[in-house]
Structure 1
Amino acid sequence: MEDKWSSCSCFILLLFQHVSVSRPENYEVLGPSDPVVVAAGEDVVLPCFLKPNISAVDLEVRWFRKDFTEYVYLYQNAKNISTNQIPSYKDRASLFPDELKKGNVSLKLKGVQSSDSGRYKCFVQSPESHDDWSINVIIMGTQSVISIERDGGRGISFMYELKSWYPDAEVTWLDSEGQNLKTEYSETHRSGDGSLSLRGRVIVQERDNNRFTSRVLQKQLGLLREEVVEISGEMFHHAYPWKVAFWCLLSAFALTVMAFLISCKKMKRKNAQLQETRARLNTTKARLSTMEARLSTSEVQLWQTEARFSTTEVQLRQTEARLSTTEAQLRQTEARLTDKEAQLSQMQDHISKILDFEVNLKNAVDVTLDPDTAKPELIISENGKEVTYRGNNQNLSSNPLGLNDFGFYDLRFDLYRLGVLGKEGFTSGRHYWEVMVGKKTEWALGVVGVTDGKEYESSWGIGLSQGRYQAFSKHCMNLYVNKEPEKVGIFVDYGERQVSFYNVGAKSYIYSFFDLEFKEELYPFFIPPLKRDEDNLAPLIITPVQDPE
Structure 2
Amino acid sequence: MTVEWLRLEEITSSVHLYRDLQDRYEDQTQSYRGRTSLFKEELQKGNASLKLSPVRVSDEGKYKCLIEDKSWYDDIIVHIMVEAQGSHPVITMESYDNSGGVNLVCESRGWKPVPEVLWLNRDGVPLPAQDTQIHRETEGFSVKRRITVHDYSNSNGFNCKLQQKHHIKETKVIINSKVFDAWKWDVGISVSACLITVGAIITAAICYKKASELEKVKEYAELLRQRVEEEFIMKKLFTEDVTVDPDTAHPELRVSADGKEVNREDTRQNLFETPERFIVDPCAVGKQSFSLVRFYYEVQVRGKTGWTLGVMTESVNRKKGIICTPKDGVWTVGLWGNQYLANAGPSVPLTLREKVEKVGVFVDYEEGVVSFYDVENRSHIYSFT
- Scaled to the shorter chain, the TM-score interval is 0.3 to 0.5
Higher relative helix content = 1
Greater C-alpha radius of gyration: 1
For normalisation by structure 2, the TM-score amounts to 0.39
